């Protein structure tokens, strides 16, 4: 696969040989998509007659793009090795993602804060990059997006707008938040990494 098309989306082209080495044994589609508020990237196992696919949001900053892409690559590699025998964010995936992050840390002279953050994340990978507030804040800082507000930045009781609707944050469930739709009074869960607009 030719990864030169994603080079402009990465912090440095130095990582391309590493990405090519990781993915050489596998056949999959990589798609850059329009921004999605509820996810940064996604891995889908193959359907009959089709290949596995990874989708990545086009509006991510370079460090967020790279880190999320490695997260999704870990899903691809874990799927190829174990198929349905491995849980989506089970121990096999955690071991794979952790190993990829350790390799990534050594391939380029990264800013020390980024290298430290991904090495710490490698010891206890989360099911979403945004599930690690320390890493997420470093990514937003390095990408110059400190002003973005994620659902995980709010506290229970805070109100916010998401996809033209008004919600109240109820409580956190690992990688998602339980929220109350103030319009229809129904409860929903939304990923903690969702970008939201705080209520005025």
Q: Tell me the per-residue pLDDT of 161-174, one tens digit each, with 9 for 90 and over.
A: 998 999 999 998 87
Average the pLDDT over 176-200 and give the result: 90
**In this predicted model, what pLDDT tens digit does every residue of 61-108 receive, in sequence order?**
999 999 999 999 999 999 999 999 999 899 999 999 999 999 999 999
Task: Give every CB contact of residue 48 below 8 A, 6+ residues apart in sequence.
Answer: none
Question: Per CATH, is 151-198 categorized as 2.40.110.20?
Answer: no
Distance CA(128)–CA(10), nearest Å, equals 19
Interhelix angle 16-23/91-106, nearest 10 degrees: 150
pLDDT of amino acid 160: 96
The pTM for the full model equals: 0.80
């Amino acid at each position: 696969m030719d990864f030169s098309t994603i080079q402009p989306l990465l912090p440095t082209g130095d990582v391309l040989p590493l990405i090519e080495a990781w993915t050489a044994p596998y056949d999959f589609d990589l798609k850059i998509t329009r921004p999605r508020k509820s996810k940064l990237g996604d891995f889908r196992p193959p359907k009959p007659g089709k290949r596995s696919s990874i989708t990545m949001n086009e509006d991510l900053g370079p460090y967020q793009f790279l880190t999320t892409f490695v997260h999704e690559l870990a899903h691809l590699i874990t799927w190829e090795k174990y198929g349905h025998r491995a849980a989506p964010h089970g121990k096999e995936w955690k071991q794979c993602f952790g190993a990829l992050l350790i390799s990534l840390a050594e391939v380029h002279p990264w800013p020390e804060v980024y290298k430290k953050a991904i090495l710490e994340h490698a010891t206890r990978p989360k099911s979403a990059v945004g599930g690690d507030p320390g890493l997420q804040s470093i990514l937003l800082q390095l990408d110059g997006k400190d002003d973005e507000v994620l659902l995980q930045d709010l506290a229970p009781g805070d109100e916010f707008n998401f996809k033209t609707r008004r919600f109240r944050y109820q409580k956190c469930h690992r990688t998602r938040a339980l929220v109350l739709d103030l319009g229809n009074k129904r409860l929903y869960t939304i990923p903690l990494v969702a970008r939201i607009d705080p209520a005025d």
